[in-house]
A and B are shown apart, each in its own frame.
Chain A
Amino acid sequence: MRHHHRRSEQLYTLIWGPITFLVIFFVGLRLISNVSIFSNILPTGSHTGYFYFLLHALVLTLGRLFIAYCLAVMVAIPLALFSTKSHKMESIFLPVFDILESVPALAFFPILIIFFVRSNFLNGAAILIIFLSMLWNLVFTLVGGLKIIPPDIKGVAHVFGLERLDYLRKVILPAIFPQFVTGSILAVAQGWNIIIVAEVLHTYIPGGTSAQDLLGIGSVLVRAAASGNNDLFVLTLFVMILAIVFLNFFVWQKLLRSAERYRFE
C-alpha cells in the first residue's frame, strides 16, 4: 500500500512536474518575446536583455528569501529547543510565542524601516520583514516535532552517554527533520506572500519615493500593475510561479520524500 502510494507519487512528479514546468516555461517565453509590453519600465534592447532583467529580479528576490530563510532557521531552532527544554519553560514561552505570532509582521515595519532608511540599508529592511513572516511557522512546527520525539529515543541517547552536542546532532535534529521540512515549506510560502511588501518599500517610508523600491519580482509585479501593463504583470507572475514550481519539484518534494525516512511510526 505504502509502496504503491510512493510509486504514484513518483509518477506524479515524473509526469506532471516536467509538463507543468514546460507549460509555464513556454507560455513565459512567448510573453517575454513580445517586446512592446516592457516599454514603460524595462530597459530597451534585445529580447535577451528583457529576459535577463526578469532573471536578475528573480535572483535578487530569491537571494532575499534565502537570506531571510537562513536567518529564520538560525533563530527558530534554538528558540524551539530552548522553549521545550522543560514543562516550566514551555508554560512560559509558548504563550509568548502565540502572542508574538498573532501580531502581524507588518505592524513593526513602519518603525523598523526608519532605522534601515537612516543606515541606507534597504535590503536589510526587506530581509527583516521576510524573516519575521517566516519565523513563527518554523518555530511552531519545530516545537511540534520536538514534542513528539518518543521518550524511549531520548532514553537510548541517555543510556549510551551521548554528549550534548552529539545528542543534538545525531538525535534531536534528525528527529525533527520532517517537521523542519514542513515548517520550511510554510515559511518560504509566507515569504513569497510578503515579497511584494518587502520590495515596494516606499509605501512604508514617510515621504518615500518609488526610487527607494528594491528590484525584485515583487516590485516588478507592483509596477506592472500600477502602470496598467497587464501583459508584463502576467509575465512576471508566470516567472514567479515558475520559480515556485521549480522550488517545489526540485527542492521541497525531494526533501519531503527523504524526510519520510526520519518519521517515527
Chain B
Amino acid sequence: MDWLSIFNLALGELISPITAVFVMCAIGLSVHFGYTGLLNFGQAAFAAVGAYGMAISILTFKVPLLGAVAIGLVASAVFALILGIPTLRLRADYLAIVTIATSEVFRYLMTTIGFAPVTGGSNGLSQFGAEFWAMNPIPVGEYALGPFSYRHDQLFIIILAWLLVAVCAVLVWLLMRSPWGRVLKGIREDEDAVRSLGKNVFAYKIQALILGGLFASLGGMVFVLNLSNVQPQSWGTTITFMIWTVLLLGGAATVLGPIVGGMVFFVLLSLTQGIMSGLVDAGLLPFLTAPQVGQIRFLLIGLALMLLVIFRPQGIFGNKKELQFNG
C-alpha cells in the first residue's frame, strides 16, 4: 500500500475546486438553516439552477460569460421566490418537504427529452467553458505547489473557487454581525416573537433563502466549469445530504464552520477510499471487492454524521454554550 500517495491524494482534496463548491453550498445552507432556521433540503437544486442558467444562456442564447453568470444568479433568485412565497408563511417543516420535492422536479425537468434541445436531456450540456478558460491569466505550464503540481487551468479554477469562497464567507460574516443578521437569528429562535417586535419576518426569510441560494448557485457554476459539463444526475439528493454533512461537521451557525467542514469531509472521504482500496488490494479485507469500497465509505460517512450529531451537535466550530440550554 502506497501511504504517501494516499495521503497526498487526501491532502489535495483540501484545496480542490470540488471542496470549494461544497463549501459555497454549505455557506449558503448556513444562512438558511444555521442563522435563519429554514430547513432547506434542496440545496443541490439551487446549485443546479445556477449551473443550468449559466450553461443554457451561453449555449442557447449566446450570452457572454459574465452575463450568463448574472442570468444564472437571477434564475436562482427566482427559484427561491417560487419556493419561498407559498411555503415561508407556513411552518418550517413544509419548506423541507417542498424543497426536497422541487429539487427532484427540477432534476427530472432537465432530464426530460422534450427539453433536450435546450437542456441536453440526460446527456447534459458541454462546451460552454471556452470563454471561461480563455480568461485564464496564468501562463500555460505546470506549477508546483508544495507536494502538488497543477496545470495552469487547474490552478486558475482553484484560485477562482477559493476566492469566491472567501467572498461568500466575508459577506456572511459582515451580515451576521449586523442588525439584519440579528433579526435572522431571532427568527430562528421564535418567529412570532420577532413579528411581535415589528419585523417583517416573511421578507427576511425570503431574503435569507435567496442569499443562501445564490451562494449555492455560484458553487454550481464552478462545479460545471470544472467538469466542463452539466448533467442532471450530478444534482441528486445525495449532493444535498453531503452539503448538510459538511455544514453540520463544521458548525451550522458559524462562518468558518462550512469551510473547515468541507475540507475535513473531503479529506476523510479520500482517506477512507485510499486506505480501504489499499487494504482490499493487499487482500486484508477478503469480504470486500474494490467497487464495494466506494459504497462502504459513504456508509462510514453516514455513521460519522450520526455520531457527530449525537456527540458534538454544535460541529467543530459551534459554540458549545449555545447548545447546552437547547432543550
Q: Do chains A and B stick together as partners?
A: no
Q: Taking beta carbons and an 8 Å cutoff, which residues of B are in contact with A?
A: none
